[in-house]
Every structure is written in structure tokens, then in C-alpha cells.
Amino acid sequence: MTYEFTIIVPVYNEAANLKRVEQELSNYIKIASKKTKILFVNDGSKDKSQELIEEICANNLDFTFIQFKENCGLSAAITAGFKNVDTELVGYIDSDLQTAPEDFNLLLKEIGAYDLVTGVRANRKDSFVKNMSSTIANGIRRSFTHDGMDDTGCPLKVIKTEYAKKIPMFKGLHRFLPAMILLQNGKIKQIPVQHFPRIAGEAKYGLWNRLLGPLMDCFAYLWMKKKYINYKIVKKG
């Protein structure tokens, strides 16, 4: 069976959501515009997430997993996913399912002409404080990266794997994926997608790490941009 698209699902203490994740992604696989498989990355969960992940993977041939020894953070989980993907395209979605898997088809429709297509959460169903802090954080990032993206934190993206595998790992990476594609002279696009309130589990980010963290990461990004090496081999003898 030849897969074309892998969806990475980072997991950290999401036992309350995982059966719903199984159902939603199983339903999506049936209507996906590309032959799709799922890769859970368990980021050192301390609840029953791993037990449920193994049960899901045992019951579904299109589901696989990686388990971290300890919690390393979202950026590490995404990077590990990128490094273990063998399909032409890779995407990711958060296990809280505040975005809809079926919207991957909207992104896949555009990926041929681009190297990354990201969602923009339309009519966000978050609290006023969360929406405001995200708006401020996105504004800070845009002023540093000039990537033109309105919602880099949207947990629904599709990337050409050859570009994803070249992204260097650093904490805060998940906030800078479009900018990191631009460093490779890639093309990016954003598309409105659905957004839903969290109905189970707990959010992993608060006001403090939505504002201070991104600001500090911006300086790390500027350093990386200055030092970034980008080349293409045109001929070998």
C-alpha cells in the first residue's frame, strides 16, 4: 500500500480526546484526497494516552506511533514526526481537534503550487484572552519574520516533506513553520479553516507562554535566519 500523505498528531496527556481522534481521523481517511496514514507522537504523556494510542494502532492499519521517553515539547514532537515520515506530503493536527480533519482536503488542493499551506482559524471559538494573546503574538512574529501569515499557530498544516525534513529543530519551531519554509526559498499560502471549542482535556498554553515565549523565539529565529545555510546541487560528476 503506497501512502501519499502522513498526518502527525502530537499527544501530551490527551487520553480524554483520543477515541474521538481515532473516529474523526478514521472518517477522514475514507474521504481524503490523498492516500493517508496517521502518526501519533506521544510527547511523554503521564496519563493513559500511550495505552490508548497502542490500542488504536492495533485496531487500525493506517495508524502508527512514536513514544518519547519524557516530555520534550510540541516542537520536538513535530520534528520527530517530520524525521520519521516517508510520504511525499506531511501535515499535522492537534489532538484536541479544535480544527477539522476534513479541512486537510482544502489545503491539499493547493499544495501542488506551494511548499506549505496553512490554515487560518476563522471565527475562533476560544476565550477573549486566548484570542487577544494569539493576535498579539502573531503580530510580533510577523514583524520579525515578514512571512505575511495571520495565524501561524493554527494546528492544521500541509508541507512538502522534502522541505519539512530540512527544518532545523529548536524550541518554538511550531510557531515558525511558514518562515522556515521561506528560508528555503519555498512558497507558502494560508487558507481559512473551521475552528471549534475544546471539549475535553486541558489547554497546554497560557497567557504567559503565548506572549513571552514567542517574543524570545523571534530573536532565536533572527539568529537562525542570519546563520541559515541554503543550497541546491545542480550537477554532480
Tens-place pLDDT, residues 83-130: 999 999 999 999 989 899 999 999 999 999 999 999 988 765 555 445
pTM value > 0.85: no
Residue whose C-alpha cell reads 488504536 in the numeric block: 56
* Set of cell numbers at residue 29: 481517511
> What pLDDT is attached to residue 197?
66
Quick one: pLDDT at residue 222?
73
| Grid cell at residue 90 | 506531511
Below-70 pLDDT ranges, the chain: 1, 123-146, 148, 150, 197-215
Which architecture does CATH list for 5-227? Alpha-Beta Complex (3.90)
Say if residues 120 and 190 touch (Cβ distance below 8 Å).
yes
Distance (Å, whole) CA 27 – CA 125 = 23
Beta strands in 61-171 (DSSP E): 63-67, 89-93, 116-121, 156-160
Q: How is the chain split into domains, by residue range?
A: 5-227
Residue 132 main-chain phi, psi, to 5 deg:
-65, -45
DSSP conformation letters of 205-223: --HHHHHHHHHHHHHHHHH
Longest CA–CA span in the chain (Å) reads 59
Residue 84 and residue 121: Cα distance in Å, rounded?
Answer: 28
Helix (H, G, I), strand (E, B) or coil at 76: helix
DSSP SS3 for 152: coil
- Write out the three cell numbers for 2: 503506497
Grid cell digits, residue 184: 528555503
How is residue 49 written as a grid cell?
494516552
State the Cα–Cα distance between residues 132 and 142, nearest whole angstrom.
Answer: 15
